[in-house]
Amino acid sequence: MPHEVIMPALGMAQDSGLIVAWHKAPGDEVAAGDVLFEVETDKATMEVEAQANGVLSQVRHEAGADVPVGEVIAMIGTSAEATAPAPSDGDAASTPSPDAAAQAQEIPDGHGVIMPALGMAQDSGLIVAWHKGPGDEVASGDVLFEVETDKSTVEVEADTNGFVAALLAEAGEEAPVGEVIAVISKEKPNAPVQLSRSALGDAPAPAAVAQPAEPEAKAAPTATEAPTSAPAQPEPATDGRILASPKARRLALEQGLDFARLAEAGHPQPYHVADLETLRTLPTKAPEPAAASARRLTADLASEGFSEFAAWARDSAGLSDAAALLAGFAGASLGRAAIVAVETLSAQRLYQVPRGPLGDVTEADPDSPPDLCLRDLRLSRISGVDLGPEDCPTLTLCADGFGLVVTLECAAHSLTAREAVALLSNFAARMEQPVRHLL
């Protein structure tokens, strides 16, 4: 009694499986435990073993097809009497059109290559590319075609020696799991066939395939029109997916290349290793001009008068807090009342700076957010800074011989370009000639 081969259930959330590749072809002898086909799920690819001894026949779904869980995809019988799928219940009442029958007669007999199943949630597979064309000689183990799943692209190898007698689906087409998509014959065919699934329709095919014709199916090529080598494949409809061989994907990832750029440039898919060179030669896109996110200005002072001024203020006016004087100069340069933080290598102090005399500068609440920060590094060995913008505009003082280097860093939204230039210019002038700029 023939044994039915069904799409297995590999997970609770999966209702179909994608046939990645068949390891046996119609007419092949199989033994229980032999790997029959591969099924891909969303998470993994699994090999499905035969459950009975016999001969594989009636393969109904080719590699690349998504097949519902539980659907019969092939039969294992005691002989290879019938390698075509058995008709469904609805087929008995329908008769293929003469055109469809003619198409079926043109498909040579041979070893059927089916769309493999890779997972329970997949009922069809997308053919990325054919590596062999009609009439080409193939050996067992040669890469025959590539199938794309939701998670990866898999290369499917031929499992028999012979010649490609027919390709029954085109690159870019999806085929149900278990559906025959190619025929490999032992002898070199006189008239190899190239069909799309839409052209094949639903008409039953001799020995290898049985697909019903659709009313508006495209005419199949005749024997005189059949190509002797692989025809140019149309660019597949990918719905935004990038079709590329596994090796090409791996190399692109290693080299930091993106096949999406080839797609944007109009290069036809699928992509292979040879396309990496084209990808490398694509002109680099000029980056969009971005709005300035930070500002950094520097002023060099050949000499500074602040140290002498601070000594005079201490002795003559009783202003002994040099940090308060720095805060007053910074606040006055900002042009408004402000809270100024003065930082040294060891401490930070906050000052309330009003619009008025330096003697009115007082210490502020330590928790107050500063409007301006002054970082005093004159006693360090640091000669310059480029630290990037912080929460508030920051003026940094670094010693430079007998002079100073004053750096302003701020976010673009903190100060306009005009305000940043005015702040640094005013503060540098006060540090160079303090008395001249006293209000």
Determine the pLDDT at residue 124: 77
For residues 116 and 391, the model is more confident at 391
What pLDDT is stored for residue 285 in this prediction? 66
DSSP state of 303: S
Question: For 381-404, what is each residue's pLDDT tens digit?
Answer: 998 999 999 999 999 999 998 899
Place of tokens 């590319």: 129
What pLDDT, in 10s, does the model give residues 8-55? 866 545 677 888 888 988 888 888 888 888 888 766 678 888 888 889
The pLDDT tens digits of the residues spanning 307-318 come to 999 999 899 889
- Quote the CA–CA distance of 61 and 215 in Å, as a whole number: 21
Buried b vs exposed e over 144-168: b needs ≥16 C-beta within 10 Å? Answer: bbbbbbeeebbbbebbbebbbbbbb
Q: Is the bond preceding 134 in cis, omega lying within 30 degrees of 0?
A: no
Which residues in 280-347 belong to E strands, given as ranges? 294-301, 338-343
Q: What is the pLDDT of residue 175?
A: 83
- Flag the least confident range among 167-171, 240-244, 280-284, 321-325: 240-244
Nearest residue to 236 via CA among 143, 153, 128, 149? 128
What pLDDT does 224 receive? 43
Return the higher-pLDDT residue of 407 and 269: 407
Q: Where are the domains of the chain?
A: 3-237, 294-437
pLDDT tens figures, 228-250: 444 444 444 445 667 777 677 87
Q: What is the mean pLDDT of residues 350-375?
A: 92
Per-residue burial over 334-369, b = 16 or more CB atoms within 10 Å of its CB, e = otherwise: beeebbbbbbeeeeebbbbbeeeebeebeebeeeee
C-alpha angle 257-261-266 in degrees, rounded to nearest 5: 140
Which CATH number is correct for 294-437, 2.40.10.340, 3.30.559.10, 2.40.30.30, 3.90.1150.10? 3.30.559.10
The pLDDT assigned to 201 comes to: 59
